[in-house]
Structure 1
Amino acid sequence: MLQLKYNEKLDSMKTAEQRRQEKLQTLTFYNVADEWLEYTAPMVKVETVKNHINNVKRIKRAIPEDMPFLEFSPVSAEKVVYNMYYTEKLSYSYSNTILITIKAIICYAKKAGYIENISDFEEIKLKRRPVTKQELAKSVNKFLDKNELAECLKQLKAMNIRVGLAMEFIALTGLRCGEMLALRTQDYDAEKSSVNINGTLVKSACNGDDVQRGTPKNVYSYRDVILNDRARQILEWFMLENKKSAQWDRKTYKDKGYIFTTKSGNPYNIQYINKKLRELNLDNKKISTHVFRHTHISLLAEMGIPLKAIMQRVGHNDPNTTLSIYTHVTNKMKSELVNKLKAMHF
């Protein structure tokens, strides 16, 4: 008993610096990463929390569980990211996201007093490597030409007319799938023939959840998108079908104000849509909801629409994001270039 009281007295006499040093002796990188997750969770969206968790899991796979935090050096961080990008040949975007996550964890550690100088971590950069043939083929597969789009929509509508029309709407507007599914009747302006983008569907939520509708991806995502006649026709078809369901299927249909819904009145689940898209047979191309958005961007590029106008329409704030699709010249543009070169003379 006397020994216990003596130990407690010794603990109370320790300075904050002594306690910090003792904690650092047992602190692992895993501990700090988990602390960062807990620290940032209340500040970000549900989807962002999920992405953070997945990123940390990926980082942990490359680091021993018992690695002391003080032994995690800038070189250690470089090895994690460089191995992913240069050896495993993972995408630049994903590898850079992992690097950003590591830097965020280190920045938190500085705030927590676990490390003083993080300048060497901040200077780590990922230099793009030469693009492989596989990556080049994958980048071309990000969008469809007009013939591929027509065939894709034909197959999809035969499987599920609602999903087929919804994907056609994305190809006509460039909306993110989550933005389209979050559209409500009050977001449609019939007079201006436009929709106001002010929300997105939370992927991890289930149909009927109160948190199913979240805020857009970023401040640039808030926008009005003009509809052409076909896009307007699709949107009004859904609204009419929903009204019919509300009148005829009152037991199963619950009107929650959404436009692009299942027959029950709930917005479609994005995972369900992507599952349907994987059933398509289209020249070995991997079709996802984002392919239709990228296709819209490529079609606008083919029409010669300025980059800035495309960015505003699709809600991009980083030109490189749009350019990654914009610069992939379509076959039609290539043939037009050949014809113009033939006619060139001085």
Structure 2
Amino acid sequence: SEVAGMKLKYFHGDYVDVLGQLNGYGDYTDVKSVASRRSVPLTKEARDILLEAIARARGIYLLNGRPMTDDDFIFVNDSGGPFYTQYITVLFKKMSKDLEFHIAPHMLRHAFSTFAFGLEGANPRDISNIMGHKNVSMSLYYNLGTDDGKRELIDKLDEDLRSNG
């Protein structure tokens, strides 16, 4: 809903502001909480994808008889309307079928938390801020852990026990 609700004015090149979202009825609303209002840094690849989406949207708006304005959505259908959250769900169902395993938009938040907390030196507060959580504990709740992480933990524990035992 936050991605579908991204407007041109919220894209700043190397980061995006998350200040609103599209609800299930296609209405643009505020995000869930004050903590959900945030600026999110972008990777180079994410920036490039957004630039492509903006170029596509500009073309669609022009084909529909008007230029794109700062208050317009970046992700739009062929008639220049926003992609509703249901459409994004449909896209993920198609991807799940092609990949032969289930994937959903919300799962990406779990993946981000899991991988980000696994990065050496990562600041938990930064992870929480990017996710739009008021408390680090909520971001940790999203962390699912990994098989590699479990193996690494046991190996470190074993090494520690052997050297101190």
Coarse TM-score class (shorter-chain normalised)? 0.7 to 0.9
**For each residue in 1:126-180, what CA deviation from the matched residue of structure 2 results, as whole angstroms up to 9, or x when unmatched?**
xxxxxxxxxxxxxxxxxxxxxxxxxxxxxxxxxxxxxxxxxxxxxxxxxxxx111
C-alpha contact 2:23 2:85 (8 A) present in aligned 1:
no
For the pair 1:299 / 2:122, whether they are aligned, the reply is no
Q: Distance in 2 between matches of 1:235 and 1:330?
A: 30
1:267 Cα offset (Å) = 1.7
Q: TM-score of the superposition, structure 2-length normalised?
A: 0.81
Q: TM-score of the superposition, structure 1-length normalised?
A: 0.41
Equivalent of residue 220 in structure 1, options 35, 54, 75: 35
1:339 Cα offset (Å) = 3.5
1:267-278 → structure 2 map (5 Å cutoff): 267-278=82-93
C-alpha contact 1:316 1:322 (8 A) present in aligned 2:
yes
> What secondary structure does 2:139 align onto?
helix
Equivalent of residue 321 in structure 1, options 138, 141, 144: 138
**For each residue in 1:208-251, what CA deviation from the matched residue of structure 2 results, as whole angstroms up to 9, or x when unmatched?**
xxxx211111111111111110110111010111223334x235
C-alpha contact 1:302 1:330 (8 A) present in aligned 2:
no
1:41-56 → structure 2 map (5 Å cutoff): none
C-alpha contact 1:254 1:265 (8 A) present in aligned 2:
no
* Bigger Rg, which one: 1
1:342 Cα offset (Å) = 4.2
Q: Distance in 1 between matches of 2:136 and 2:92?
A: 28
Q: Mark the CA change 1:292 to 1:254 in structure 2 (over 3 Å): closer, same or farther.
A: farther
1:321 Cα offset (Å) = 2.7
Which residue identity does 1:332 align to in structure 2? Answer: D
Give structure 2 stretches of 5+ with no counterpart: none
1:280-291 → structure 2 map (5 Å cutoff): 280-281=96-97, 282=99, 284-285=101-102, 287-291=103-107
1:264 Cα offset (Å) = 2.4
> What secondary structure does 1:181 align onto?
coil
Structure scoring higher RCO (CA < 8 A, sep ≥ 6) equals: 2
The number of equivalent residue pairs is 157
1:189 Cα offset (Å) = 1.3
C-alpha contact 2:53 2:74 (8 A) present in aligned 1:
yes
1:298 Cα offset (Å) = 1.5
Which residue identity does 1:298 align to in structure 2? Answer: T
Q: Distance in 1 between matches of 2:76 and 2:113?
A: 25
Give structure 1 stretches of 5+ with no counterpart: 1-177, 206-211
Which residue identity does 1:323 align to in structure 2? Answer: L
When you count strand as a share of all residues, which structure comes out higher? Answer: 2
Q: Mark the CA change 1:295 to 1:254 in structure 2 (over 3 Å): closer, same or farther.
A: farther
When you count helix as a share of all residues, which structure comes out higher? Answer: 1
Q: Mark the CA change 1:284 to 1:181 in structure 2 (over 3 Å): closer, same or farther.
A: closer
